[in-house]
Amino acid sequence: MELQGSCHCGKVSFSVTSHTPAPFMRCYCSICRKCQGGGGYAINIMGQHKTLKVNGREHVRYYRALRDKETNELCGNIRYFCSECGSHLYAYNESYSDFVYPMACAIDTPLPELSHEDVYCIMLNDKSKANWAIVPPSKHTFQEYPDVSLEEWHKKHNQYIN
């Protein structure tokens, strides 16, 4: 499925092919929350990196967060933003170089709708989740990482698109 995305001010737009477009997982980690998550979490989906096309690339900037401020360990994700309006567009991790992770909120293409029961909530430990962030009723909650990959979840729930 081809996804079209853009920033709020319109200076950056992008397209990417995704086999896994259902926005099923909410990440409550402090990095996602502070870089993206107005609701206390961020939702990213997965696309094929080789298909990513960006218009307005001159307005794109990146940020690589510290995962651990005590050890200065960097987060694997490089987060890409519009330099004009600050919209978080997508993330990329060199360890998973075949993929790019667009933020669901930056996608303009209609995405599959899910029930609260299907939502996975991750990084709910005390070091990650803000105490004010509301976690929806879900049978899929994780203190850290989930028990399934983006691809596995999509295949299991018949949401994988060839």
Cα 135–Cα 37–Cα 65 angle in degrees, nearest 5: 120
Task: State pLDDT tens for residues 73-87.
Answer: 888 899 999 999 999
User: Does pLDDT of 37 surpass 90?
Assistant: no
User: Does pLDDT of 94 surpass 80?
Assistant: yes
Cα 106–Cα 107–Cα 109 angle in degrees, nearest 5: 160
pLDDT at residue number 138: 87
Question: pTM for the complete prediction?
Answer: 0.90
Q: Would you place residue 7 in the very low, low, confident or very high pLDDT band (cuts 50, 70, 90)?
A: very high
Task: State pLDDT tens for residues 95-126.
Answer: 999 999 999 999 999 999 888 778 899 999 99
pLDDT at residue number 130: 93
Which residue has better confidence, 162 or 9? 9
Q: Name the CATH code of domain 2-156 (choices 3.40.50.300, 3.40.630.10, 3.40.50.1100, 2.170.150.70).
A: 2.170.150.70
Mean confidence (pLDDT) of the chain: 93
pLDDT at residue number 36: 81
**Domain residue ranges of the chain, discontinuous segments joined by +:** 2-156
User: Does pLDDT of 20 surpass 90?
Assistant: yes
Nearest to 25 by CA among 161, 159, 162: 159
